[in-house]
Structures are given as structure tokens and as C-alpha cells.
Structure 1
Amino acid sequence: MKIAIIDDNSFLISSIKEKLSFFEEIQVKYTANNGADLLEKLDKDHNLDALLMDIEMPVLNGIETTLAVKQKYPQIKIIMLTVFDNDENIFNAIKAGADGYLLKDVNPHELFNGIVDTLNGGAAMNPSIALKTLKLLRNPVDFKDVSKEEINLTNREVEVLEQLSKGLSYKVIADNLFLSPSTVRKHIENIYSKLQVHSKLEAVQKARRNNLI
């Protein structure tokens, strides 16, 4: 089984390769750092059975890339491999033509079985993803409306979020904005609450999606 891994995080690529190294039936032909990088490599060699595709990537994200690959190489199976299991990503990935959807904390055997199942005409899915997919089918959501949700951040919260997006620590943010670290922490708690997220990465990505930063 010939596969490629597409992810902008080299550490995660290594982690996925390590999980697959237990199975001699799998050959990782190459990796790519984003969708545009992958499309270039596919032009030179599209002799692949499956792609393991991240969603949040610069230049060309996983959903846009899935759409492009499926138009040109419909025979290649695509499994989304991501940390995000929000409804909008699942819906958009499946709509774009993804053949499976797994979370990155999947164990080696589940990952291997997911690839095999998908290549045999099934669909690799974590139980939590399968449940969310069923709920989406039962209660379809118009994500165009959802993406326009009203998020009201104060000017100070936007400033803190911009600093956070640069990977700065609470202490550095506090120094830059002439605040105490505890005040910065409080602002970040408020930001998480307003954005309905649980991590810095989610906060930054949701803020960018909604043009807040």
C-alpha cells in the first residue's frame, strides 16, 4: 500500500511514520508540507493508493487540497488525519470527497486498519467522528450561517490574541502590553469562553477564520 503524508508539522509527520513503521505492507512514498507542495509532487508521481491529509495547513489547506486531488486523481483514497473533530471540518471534508476521517491520536493498529478498510471500499472513522457524522445527517446545518456567528472581543482581547498567535508566552505578552501575567491569563480565559474553544491553537485558528486577527 503506497501512501503519502501531508502535514505542515514535521514532528507529526515523524510520529505518523513511526506508527506505520510496524506494518511492512505500508510504504510511505513521500511527504508534503501543504496542499500546494503535494499537488506538485503528485504531478511527478501519482502512483499512490492513499493520502493521510491534515486539515489546517498554510498555502492550501486539507479540504481545498482534497477537492483538487479528487478532481484530478479520483482513484486515490484520502483519509483526513487531524486534531480537529468540529462539525464544520467533518462536513466540509466529506463534501470535498474525503474517504475517511481519523484523529491524530489514533493508535498504530487503528490507523493501519483504517487505511486497509478505506482501500477496500470502506470509510475509516473514529467512533466520535462517526457519531458526529450521523448527527449531521439527521440535523443538517448551514455552515455558511454558522461561520458568520457574532463574536464580540474587546480591543484588548484582540491585542492579546494577536500576541498569542505569535507563540509568545503569557509573561512576554504581559510585558508587551504593560499588563500583569494574571490579567493576561484572565483575558485569555475570556477569549476561550467567547470563541468556545479549549486551546491556544483552536483560539488562533477560529479567530483567523472569523477575521478577528
Structure 2
Amino acid sequence: MNIKLAIIDDNTFLVKAIKDKLSFFDDISIKWIALDGSQGLAKLEENHNLDIILMDIEMPVLNGIETTQMVKQKYPHVKIIMLTVFDNDENIFKAIQAGADGYLLKEVDPETLHKGILETINGGAAMNPSIAMKTLKLLRNPVDEKFLENKEDIKLSKREIDVLEQLSKGLSYTVIADNLILSPSTVRKHIENIYKKLQVHSKIEAVHKAKRHNLI
């Protein structure tokens, strides 16, 4: 099996390091190298008889995530492994959304790189363990953008938070009033305000949302 591979990376030192790592394996032939995404797309236009691209993320002109998206739209048969120095969440998620087939750190050893390439060609996904863990976490707790936007908007007073904490224990208005030395009608007023600020319509919703926003 001869794997036709291309590298898109603006760091010539790292490109050389990757070439050196791949030189141990005679089932891989490097077809071309590009120094940024747009150069990569031009070379792909000339020769898309490729199996796999090793793609850097941070690049001038067109970064790896944008390039991945374009490659996948036009040449869905070409597999892409992102090579990166950092395993930070945001990039992992963006790269996977863009259609990347795998994600490895640049300091990967030759054996792991080769194994990752073979795995990806055969329909698997090359991922180093720390990235795989982060990806799982992201899938379990996707970052809800609306939630992030709203996070700052919710401002509850100290008293409202006290009332909410009591509510979360399942206590009745009268018991909450006794515990906080307030009248039941004041408690009711606080709860109305809490519902309004949290944009909810029930006790359960209010408690759930407050917990999600780390208010209680």
C-alpha cells in the first residue's frame, strides 16, 4: 500500500521534522508541501490524487481550520489530520466541526504518527490521548454559546440568591420566610423577580438554571 500524503504547514523547521519522521516508512510518499492554506488549495487543484493531508492550524493567509473546511467540501475523499503544538479546546472543536479526521500533537513520535496515518486511512481517527479526553469532555458538555452570552446578564441580589438556595432545598414560601426573617409576600416578590431575571416559569427551572450558571 502506497499512501500519498501532503503537508500544509508554514513552519519549515517542523515540515522537515515531519519529513524525517516519515522517512522511516516506505509505504508513505510525500507528494507536495505547501506553506499556507491557499497555497495548499492551489496545489490540491493541480494534484488531488492524494490520500491524506497533515495540516497545521495556525497559518498565515488561510488557517488550517478554514482550509480543512474547503478541502472537505471539494475533495471529501482526502483525509485530514490536524497537527498542532497546542491541544486547546477551542481549536479541537473547530477542527472537528470543519471535518478533520484526526488530531495529533506536533511532537508525536514517528511510530505514533505512522500508526495515526494508517488508522485514519482505514476509517478510524488518529487522536493523541489528551486530545481524545478533551474531545469527549466537549461532547459531554458542549459549550452553549447562548449560555455564555447570558451568563453576564443574570444579576441576582444577595437576598434573591438566599431565597433561591432555600427554594433549591424544596422548602415552602412560609418556611423560607421564617428562615430568612421575611414576610411570605416579600418572599413571593423575590421569587417573581428571580423568575423574571432567569426567564423561567417554575421553581424547578429556576433552580436548574441557577445551578447551571453557578449562581447557587
Q: Alpha-carbon deviation of 1:123?
A: 0.1
Match of 1:63 in 2: 65
Q: Is the 8 A contact 1:88 1:143 kept in 2?
A: no
* TM-score normalised to structure 1 length: 0.67
Aligned residues: 149
Distance 1:95 1:28 in 2: 26
Task: Answer with 1 or 2: which has the greater Rg.
Answer: 2
Distance 2:33 2:145 in 1: 31
| 2:27 is aligned with 1:17 | no
Q: Which amino acid aligns with 2:45?
A: D
* TM-score normalised to structure 2 length: 0.66
Distance 1:67 1:105 in 2: 25
Q: Alpha-carbon deviation of 1:142?
A: 3.5
SS at match of 2:58: coil
| 2:138 is aligned with 1:136 | yes
Match of 1:45 in 2: 47
Show structure 1 runs of 5+ residues with no match: 151-213
Q: Which amino acid aligns with 1:5?
A: I
Same amino acid, percent of matched pairs: 70
Distance 2:33 2:147 in 1: 35
Distance 1:144 1:94 in 2: 21
SS at match of 1:102: strand
Q: Which amino acid aligns with 2:18?
A: I
Note the alpha carbon deviations across 1:4-24, whole angstroms, 9 max, x for none. Answer: 001000000000000000000
Q: 4+ residue stretches of structure 1 with deviation over 2 A?
A: 142-147
Distance 1:10 1:92 in 2: 25
Show structure 2 runs of 5+ residues with no match: 153-216
Distance 2:24 2:148 in 1: 42
1:192-211 superposed matches below 5 A: none
